[in-house]
Amino acid sequence: MKQYIFSAMILTLMGGSIANAQSGKKGFTKLFDGKTTKGWHTYGKTTTGSKWKVEDGTLHFTPAGDKSEGGDLVTNEEYSNFHLKLDWKVAPKANSGIIFYVHEDAAKYPQTYSTGLEMQVLDNDGHPDGKITKHRAGDLYDLVKSSSEPVKPVGEWNTAEIISKNGKLEQYLNGVKVVSTTLWDENWKNLVAGSKFAKWENWGTFKSGKIALQDHGNEVWYRNIMIKKL
């Protein structure tokens, strides 16, 4: 009888764990199927550059080869209010970024970051940007410094989350909230005015846009990319 009760308790606990794991993904849609680049394309193009390789369930950017086969990867779809989750890791001395609210008009805006906000992806110790305030991993690039730095060592996976709803923006790194700010209000305009983007036409003004993974010329991996519309 005791063994039966113990077994039942174990099953209940397991069921609870499974339920919790499933509820953590409830409402999320995969942006990356782990097998193809379906749903993505290179910014300003209709295809995906060969430098972005699908390997073992990851999107792996390899810098070697023809530069024309690179470029930032962007979603086909635009998002306004959303909760984005993904994992990233970088090679030593590498730089990349998760860019959002990208307005894709390559003739007018030549880069994803010409319009989009960026959550920095970086080897803090190995890349020169690590020495610049508001340019370190988890920062809202050049605008808001992370409140703490729960980033893992180079070569290990980090989990990033970006939650944007009705102008309220939060960024999480490895389960820790590192950035909280409000977009598009007077304080936001002041932040932009004090940044490198101050004179960039329409930068940080779009309330709907695409999500991009940055080709910064360095090796980086992404996986488990999913999004929930809010």
The answer to whether residue 159 scores a pLDDT higher than 70 is: yes
Query: SS3 for 67?
Result: helix
Model confidence pTM above 0.85: yes
From the CB of residue 4, how many other CB atoms can be counted at a distance below 10 Å?
Answer: 8
* Cα atoms in the Cβ-side hemisphere of radius 13 Å centred on 143: 26
Over its C-alpha atoms, the chain yields an Rg (Å, rounded) of 19
Residue 148: the pLDDT is 97
The average pLDDT across 123-147 equals 98
> 77 pairs with which residues across the strands?
none
- Both tokens of residue 29? 């849609």
Q: Give 9 or 78, the one with higher predicted confidence.
A: 78
Residue of 132, 143, 138 whose CA lies nearest to 189: 143
**How many whole angstroms separate alpha carbon 40 and alpha carbon 43?**
9
The answer to whether residue 119 scores a pLDDT higher than 90 is: yes
Residue 6: the pLDDT is 39
Within 8 A by CB and 6+ apart from 18, the residues are none
97 and 216 Cβ atoms separated by less than 8 Å? yes
Within 8 A by CB and 6+ apart from 39, the residues are 31, 32, 33, 75, 76, 77
Identify the burial level of 13 via C-beta atoms within 10 angstroms of its C-beta, where 0-12 means exposed, 13-18 middle and 19 or more buried. exposed
Tens-digit pLDDT profile for residues 59-94: 999 998 888 899 999 999 999 999 999 999 999 999
Tens-digit pLDDT profile for residues 13-31: 444 333 333 335 789 999 9
Residue 17: the pLDDT is 34
